[in-house]
Amino acid sequence: MNKDLKILVTGVKGQLGFDCVRILKERGYCRVLGIDKDELDITDEEAVNRFILEYKPDVIMHNAAWTAVDKAEEMPDLVYKVNALGPKYIATAANKVGAKMFYISTDYVFDGEGTVPFEVDSPKDGLSIYGKTKSQGEDFVINGTNKYFIIRISWVFGINGNNYIKTMLKLSKIKDELNIVCDQVGSPTYTYDLANLMADMMETDKYGVYHATNEGFCSWYDFTKYIYKAKWITNVKVNPITTEEYLKINPNQAKRPLNSRMSKASLVKAGFNLLPKWEDAVDRYLKELGNDY
User: Rounded to an integer, what distance in angstroms lies between the CA atom of residue 78 and that of residue 85?
Assistant: 10
Q: Is residue 262 close enough to count as binding ligand NAP by CB under 6 A?
A: no
Which residues inside 116-155 make contact with ligand NAP, applying CB under 6 A?
A: 134, 153-155
Q: Is residue 277 close enough to count as binding ligand NAP by CB under 6 A?
A: no
Q: Is residue 193 close enough to count as binding ligand NAP by CB under 6 A?
A: no
Side chain identity at 17, as an amino acid letter?
A: G
Question: In Å, how far from its chain's centre is CA 116?
Answer: 21
Task: Print the binding letters for residues 7-36 with ligand NAP: x by CB under 6 A, - otherwise.
Answer: ----x-xxxxx------------------x
CA proximity to 57, closest of 98, 13, 103: 98
CB 145 within 8 A of CB 91: yes
CB 147 within 8 A of CB 201: no
User: Rounded to an integer, what distance in angstroms lies between the CA atom of residue 157 and that of residue 237?
Assistant: 23
Q: Which position among 29, 103, 130, 246 bears the catalytic label?
A: 130
Active site residue 221: no
CA quadruple 219, 220, 225, 229: dihedral, nearest 10:
100
Q: Is residue 76 close enough to count as binding ligand NAP by CB under 6 A?
A: no
Task: Print the binding letters for residues 99-118 with ligand NAP: x by CB under 6 A, - otherwise.
Answer: -----x-x------------
Residue 123 backbone dihedrals phi, psi, to 5 degrees: -60, 140
Q: Is residue 197 close enough to count as binding ligand NAP by CB under 6 A?
A: no
Q: Is 24 exposed, middle or buried (0-12, 13-18, 19+ CB in 10 A)?
A: buried
Which residues inside 220-239 make contact with ligand NAP, applying CB under 6 A?
A: none
- Given candidates 42, 60, 150, 262, which one binds ligand NAP under the rule CB under 6 A? 42
Residue 4 CB, shortest distance to ligand NAP, in Å, is 26
User: Rounded to an integer, what distance in angstroms lies between the CA atom of residue 34 and that of residue 211?
Assistant: 24
Residue 40 CB, shortest distance to ligand NAP, in Å, is 6
Q: Is residue 186 close enough to count as binding ligand NAP by CB under 6 A?
A: no
Residues noted as catalytic: 130
Contact residues: ligand NAP, CB under 6 A: 11, 13-17, 36-37, 41-43, 63-67, 82, 86, 104, 106, 134, 153-156, 161
